[in-house]
Amino acid sequence: MFASSVLFVAPAYMSHFIWAQTYAITSMFLVIYLFEMALEENNTNYFILFSLLFGASLMIQPWATAIIGLFVGLRAITIFITNIKDKKKIKKMCLFLIIGALIGSSFYIYGFIKFGTAPALKHMGIDLGSEEVVGDTSGGIVYGLKDFFVAPKVSKMDQPTGYGQILFSFFILSLLITIIYYNKFKNKERLFSAFLWLVFGVIIMNGNRLPINLVVTHRFWPYFTIIIALFIAIGTDVILKSIKKRSIKSIFILALIVGLFFTSFIPKYAVETSMWPPGVSWTSNEELQGYIQLKQLPQDAIIYSGCQAQNKVIGFDKLSFPWIKEVRSYKEKIITNSIDRNYQFLKKYDYEYIIISSACARDYGANETNVKIQQFEADNRFSIINSNNGFVLFKVN
């Protein structure tokens, strides 16, 4: 219960940024729970449920796949070491781990077959033609102790950082208590798994210091918070059991709640309720306004998004065909190809409209984009329906 409260107040535990990792973290709790129940009860039904959910969780988001696999894998290693003589239990555990891994990997295998190695890896966050880590919005920052102790009121919206002085100090205290009282804990197997998670968590959080950053450090904050919350819960339980007087226990709990409120919850609330721009993929407010006005067109209008991904059009309830390879790739040619070639392409797939936006100026330069817009305007096969400084919508006649 207290660990859940720590997650609630911890600034680094998620944000109001809605994306696949949110679902991945939620599913991870169920995966670990089913894994523990399957091992504790030695129940095949629990193992089957674990395999299905473990496999499904590996499909949610590529980075989450690596992290969930790491958590489950380290727990499995602990069980393997401590139950090496129980061959039946080990075989059963390994069997259902493999089944879950096969279920999850089937999704990625199909992706490699469908799209090829390089495109599939790029979508998984690995760009073979670049030294940069795809999806790393941290800018390669190397975190120091201050980043953990201080919970800033202005932080990255996609993943806030920091815990607050009281919360992180209490984690250090709880960690020391756990180490000192290690031999007094009944379930040392699970506690050892927690220490393994912590060791690898520290390594990942320092990933930008290392030659190879296997997991995007910036995205690991919420997972590291789970580990911290686990140790804080253990430390709090030991402290409360050691305090005999109820009045002192109440004062301790009250002081802890007040400290967490001011040093952790208030900064988290400030970040969670701050204004957030519409998204980094939009190149200008004018471009976004142009796309918003697409709602005035018929719902079944077929629109090609020049220089932007086709999901932008689909997001505004219009039609496009991103599953067709030529449609996906043609946006890279819309400015360089001739008007005749563009017209042939649009007619080939029955497109009724085409968008030229500030995304084209970003990719090809303002001059080249303006020249192309003028060519479209001069051709009677195209008519301007709507335009502003960052967006032009042409009808294909």
Q: Residue 111 pLDDT more than 70? A: yes
**For residue 147, is it left (φ>0), alpha (ψ between -120 and 50) or beta?**
alpha
How confident is the model over 174-198, as pLDDT tens digits? 999 999 998 888 888 889 999 999 9
Residues 141 and 256 in one domain: yes
> Average pLDDT over the chain, rounded to whole?
86
Residues 252 and 184 in one domain: yes
- Can you give the pLDDT at residue 130? 46
Domain region containing 383: 285-396
Residues 83 and 108 in one domain: yes
Q: Where are the alpha helices (DSSP H) in the chain?
A: 2-9, 20-41, 44-57, 62-82, 87-115, 117-123, 145-149, 165-180, 188-205, 221-242, 246-260, 266-272, 285-292, 311-315, 325-330, 339-348, 358-364, 366-378
Find the mean pLDDT for residues 219-246: 91
Find the mean pLDDT for residues 310-317: 91
**Final residue belonging to a domain, choices 276, 301, 325:** 276
**Final residue belonging to a domain, choices 276, 311, 337:** 276
Pairing of strands 382-388, 353-357: unpaired
Residues 155 and 266 in one domain: yes
Residues 63 and 140 in one domain: no
Residues 171 and 265 in one domain: yes
Number of domains making up the chain: 3
How confident is the model over 125-169, as pLDDT tens digits? 555 444 444 455 566 788 889 999 998 888 877 788 899 999 999
